[in-house]
Structures are given as structure tokens and as C-alpha cells.
Amino acid sequence: MARRFPWVLAAVAWSDAPQFTRGMHDGLPLLSYGCAPRDKLATFRQLRAMGLRPNGNDPVAVMYVRHNGSGKTSFASLYLIETAAPVRPMTPAKWTALAKANLARRICAECGHDRLYVVPTSTRQCWTCFEAAETTEAA
């Protein structure tokens, strides 16, 4: 049986007047999909698409989506857009660290060459070394 969330009139952080919500979830107002004001609330991914970050603020509401096919209910935290801050720009040190991390993912553990593609994490070998090891095991 699907869990039902009744409509409740409650005080919310994004409005001076009480708003209809679907009750509380983890101490936050619960909203149905499509009921949140899009000009005031956004998920983390929506903030990131706008070039914003939550700025250390806690979520002010939770949105739920019920998937009819599987019957599962998913929850997403909603943040106030007005308290969000711009995303911090990448510094040269961060770019360098990212380049080193990506280089480490491309180096074969067997031959030590940069293969210009990410080697599989299961073997940490390039395809040439992996095929050579497979043929020696089969012989």
C-alpha cells in the first residue's frame, strides 16, 4: 500500500503566510513534486545549474516523488535560492590536483605508460597488457 501524505497548513521559511504542505519529514516541510515554488526553492543540482551553492545553509524543505512503476518514494532536499552563494571558482592549485588525479587514472600499473584513456579499475592494466596476461594464462 502506498504511503499517503495529507495536506497540512503550516508555517514555512520561504513565505510569511502559512502554506499547504504534505506534513513533515525529518523535521522539514514535505512538498509534493511540482508544488514547490520554483522561484524560491531549488535542489542542489538545480542550484549548481544556476551557478550557485547552498553556502553552508541547511535545507528548508523536502520534496518527494513517488515512482508509479516501482512504487518507491524518493526524497530531495530543497534550499532557498535567495541565501545561495555563487560557486567558488577553480584555483590553479585545484586544476593541477585534478589533472594529476586524472593522469593517475590513465597510467597502466603493468607497463607504466599513459594510455590516454582511463584504465579499468578492476585490473589497473591497459588493454594491451591485459590481453598479454590473458594469452599467457591460457597457454
In this structure, the answer to whether residues 48 and 62 fall within a common structural domain is yes
Domain count of the chain?
Answer: 2
111-131 residue pLDDT tens: 999 999 999 999 999 999 999
In this structure, the answer to whether residues 31 and 79 fall within a common structural domain is yes
Give the predicted TM-score (pTM) of the model.
0.70
Domain that holds residue 50: 8-86
Domain boundary among 45, 71, 86: 86
- State residue 10's pLDDT score: 87
Question: Is 3 among the domain residues?
Answer: no
5-56 residue pLDDT tens: 888 888 898 999 998 899 888 999 999 888 889 999 999 999 999 999 999 9
Q: What is the 3-state secondary structure (H, E, C) of the chain?
A: CCCCCCCEEECCCCCCCCEEECCEECCEEEEECCCCCCCCEECHHHHHHCCEECCCCCCCEEEEEECCCCCCEEEEEEEECCCCEECCCCCHHHHHHHHHHHHHHHECCCCCCECCCCCCCCCCCCHHHHHHHHHHHHC
In this structure, the answer to whether residues 13 and 57 fall within a common structural domain is yes
